Amino acid sequence: MSNRLNISFLGKKLNNPIMTASGCFGYGLEYKDYFNPNELGAAVLKGITMEPRNGNPGTRIAETPSGMLNSVGLENPGIEEFKKIIPSIKKELNIPLVANINGKILEEYIAIAKEVEQIEEIEMVELNISCPNVKDGGMAFGANPEMARLVTREVRKVLSKPMIVKLSPNVTNIVEIAKIVEEEGANGVALINTLLGMAVDIRKRKPILGNIMGGLSGPAVKPVALRMIYQVSQAVSIPVLGMGGISSTEDAIEFIMVGASAISLGTGMFANPTLPIEIKKGLEKYCIENNIDNISEIVGAAHPDGGAAYRSRLGGNNEIKG
Amino acid sequence: MFLEDVKVIENIQIADNYYLMRVEGTKIPQHSKPGQFFMLQCKDNSKVLRRPISLHNVDGNILEFYYEALGKGTKEFTRLSIGETINIQGPLGNGYDTDLKGKNIVVIGGGMGMAPIKYLIKDLKDNNDITFIGGGRNAGAVKIIEKFDFKNIQLKVATDDGSVGIKGNTVDILKKILKDENKNIDIIYTCGPHPMMEAVAKVAQENNIRCQISLEERMACGIKACVGCSILTKKGMKKVCYDGPVFESTDIVDVDVVDPNGGCK
């Protein structure tokens, strides 16, 4: 394999720009029967909170046209258990591990950031201010510009590791919030998290999900994700981790061309557990066929200026010349 | 783990919405257990999730799936013709504990819950004394029993409308066995509608009989990566796809509150 797919992302060297979406890849080893997780660029682990959470009541999953709804609600074993399992995960994964951190209140975000700061196996942090499935915290922070500012600022104070802020698409002006978190020290932004939606069981005459509403993901949300990444990447100077319905190499290239420096796979892996490997091979082939020395050359290629301004602002930060 | 396109060699309607599909692969896993399931992929890409389908039987390099065509995905499966391929992933989950010898066993299947029963009986029958109680709403719901291998086991059938077997349900038969037959039952295995399994589990607990039940939940990944199918058990949150679908009935928080919509309240 050449180094056409090598990138630098938030100062970390990644073998390729393919990552996993939090909540879709467990704690890193669940898919190892289907592909070697070390083939990924990095692994974003399932979201954690300070205390263990049981999540929302069932039913938690509903399929929708070209998509799915989930209302898992951040079920997780809590930070203490997370700290116990991370060393064994790191023994098998020699790619950067990204912790996705969550809180109900500001103080919980700060407390968990302090904990994760101490975990040496964690190289990057994804600050989740956009989960639509928790009553408190989550999207409440991501949908309010000043709350987004506050949580990013306060977490930044206690976290020296590279930090990606995962934004909610359930807002009127995503660009405003992206610029705010950049101002407050985010090293990157991840978008999009799921769109708030619902589905109804017409036989029972009630919502399918136990939590009534859930987060919509899958190919159905791809156009929204592309639009938001396109808008945000033209307004910020930090890398975008793009996600939202990627299920093929062509999808991945679209995301990169609208401005994503790296991509995350989620729902697409449920239908196709070997999707990361297919996309990795597909991107390599695409680069060869189009005389692209490094995949980062086409970040933002669909911008009006071909992405030159954005790539210049990134400062070649996500490119490693071969 | 097995993830492969396999060839459909039979796909027939048993009754109503009940279908039996047989597939053939080159490397079908031989290590599967009764109660495990496979995730079957839809060809229509607009269906982003695989469908978890219980393993009905394994015979050399042939797998059998007994399934109910209720939603768009499973209805798509009914249209698969002989020679077409389908991508399957599995075997997944934790099946029934069948490492038993010389035991008196009652197996209870209700309606679509008959799906794992054929393989279960096949695995148990050479070493144990088995009574199988099959039940359903009507004749169609129990028609699959005709395709089972019933040598050396006792068969009892009940239907709600009395069209086949006795008019009644499987729990009535279980209670009658316990009352009339002076037989010490070692274990009960069951799969079927939640109210039926709830009732079976209660009878088992009242009589101090070990009971394994197979739960059903909507799931996305099938391998505990998405945490979509979690339920609250006495041992904490468990994933139906990975820790189950077969559970000890006593591990479920309270069989009285088994949610008919799946999982536990």
**pLDDT tens track, chain B, 265 positions:** 899 999 999 999 999 999 999 999 987 777 899 999 999 999 998 999 999 999 999 998 999 999 999 999 999 999 999 999 999 999 999 999 999 999 999 999 999 999 999 999 999 999 999 999 999 999 999 999 999 977 889 999 999 999 999 999 999 999 999 998 877 899 999 999 999 999 999 999 999 999 999 999 999 999 999 999 999 999 999 999 999 999 999 998 564 444 444 443 3
- To the nearest whole Å, the CA of A300 is away from the closest chain B CA by 28
Interface contact A94, partner B, CB < 8 A: no
Residue A140: pLDDT band by 50, 70, 90 thresholds? confident
A131: annotated active-site residue:
yes
Q: Which residues of chain B have a Cβ shorter than 8 Å from any chain A Cβ?
A: 1, 3, 41, 45-50, 71, 73, 89, 217-232, 237, 259, 261-265
Q: Would you state the pLDDT for residue B253? A: 57
Q: Do B218 and A58 touch (CB under 8 A)?
A: yes
Q: How far apart are CA A50 and CA A310, in angstroms?
A: 37
Residue B44: closest CA among B75, B68, B18: B75
Q: Do B227 and A55 touch (CB under 8 A)?
A: yes
pLDDT at A321 exceeding the cut of 70: no
Nearest CA in chain B to A77: B237
Partners of residue A23 in chain B, C-beta under 8 Å: 226-227
Question: For chain A, what percent of residues have pLDDT higher than 70?
Answer: 95
- To the nearest whole Å, the CA of B184 is away from the closest chain A CA by 37
pLDDT at A224 exceeding the cut of 90: yes
Asked if the peptide bond before residue B29 counts as cis, ω within 30 degrees of 0, the response is no
Q: Do A26 and B225 touch (CB under 8 A)?
A: yes
Give residue A266's Cα distance to chain centre.
9
Interface contact A247, partner B, CB < 8 A: yes
Q: What is the mean pLDDT of residues A288-311?
A: 97
Secondary structure of chain A in the HEC alphabet?
Answer: CCCCCCEEECCEEECCCEEECCCCCCCCCCCCCCCCHHHCCCEECCCECCCCECCCCCCCEEEECCEEEECCCCCECHHHHHHHHHHHHHHHCCCCEEEEECCCCHHHHHHHHHHHHCCCCEEEEEEECCCCCCCCCCHHHHCCHHHHHHHHHHHHHHCCCCEEEECCCCCCCHHHHHHHHHHCCCCEEEECCCEEEECEECCCCEECCCCCEEEEECHHHHHHHHHHHHHHHCCCCCCEEECCCCCCHHHHHHHHHHCEEEEEECHHHHHCCCHHHHHHHHHHHHHHHCCCCCHHHHCCCCCCCCCHHHHHHHCCCCCCCC
Nearest CA in chain A to B242: A30
For testing contact with chain A, the best of B2, B89, B221, B238 (most A CBs within 10 A): B221
Q: Would you state the pLDDT for residue B29? A: 79
- To the nearest whole Å, the CA of B182 is away from the closest chain A CA by 41
Q: Which of B48, B89, B259 sits opposite A68 (nearest CB)?
A: B48
Nearest CA in chain A to B221: A270
Q: Do B218 and A57 touch (CB under 8 A)?
A: no
- CB distance A215 to A132 below 8 Å: yes
3-class secondary structure, B109:
strand
Q: Do A218 and B48 touch (CB under 8 A)?
A: yes
3-class secondary structure, B178:
helix
For testing contact with chain B, the best of A53, A61, A247 (most B CBs within 10 A): A61
Q: How far apart are CA A311 and CA A300, in angstroms?
A: 7
What pLDDT digit, counting tens, does each position of A39-92 carry?
Answer: 999 999 999 999 999 999 989 999 999 999 999 999 999 999 999 999 999 999
- The sign of the dihedral angle between the CA atoms of A221, A226, A231, A236 is positive
What pLDDT digit, counting tens, does each position of B121-176 carry?
Answer: 999 999 999 999 999 999 999 999 999 977 889 999 999 999 999 999 999 999 99
Inter-chain Cβ pairs, chain A and chain B, closer than 8 A: 112
Quote the DSSP letter at residue B80: P
Quote the DSSP letter at residue B188: E
- Let me know if B126 is exposed, middle or buried by CB neighbors in 10 A (0-12, 13-18, 19+): exposed
Q: Do A46 and B227 touch (CB under 8 A)?
A: yes
Q: Would you state the pLDDT for residue B182? A: 75
What pLDDT digit, counting tens, does each position of A229-274 carry?
Answer: 999 999 999 999 999 999 999 999 999 999 999 999 999 999 999 9
Residue A317: pLDDT band by 50, 70, 90 thresholds? low
Q: Do A59 and B261 touch (CB under 8 A)?
A: yes
ipTM reported for the complex surpasses 0.95: no
Q: Do B48 and A33 touch (CB under 8 A)?
A: no
- HSE-CB for B31 with a 13 A CA cutoff: 7
Q: Do A34 and B1 touch (CB under 8 A)?
A: yes
Q: Would you state the pLDDT for residue B258? A: 45
Partners of residue A210 in chain B, C-beta under 8 Å: 261
Q: Would you state the pLDDT for residue B39? A: 97
Q: Do A270 and B261 touch (CB under 8 A)?
A: no
Q: Which of B48, B222, B231 sits opposite A63 (nearest CB)?
A: B48
Of A131, A159, A260, A269, the catalytic one is: A131
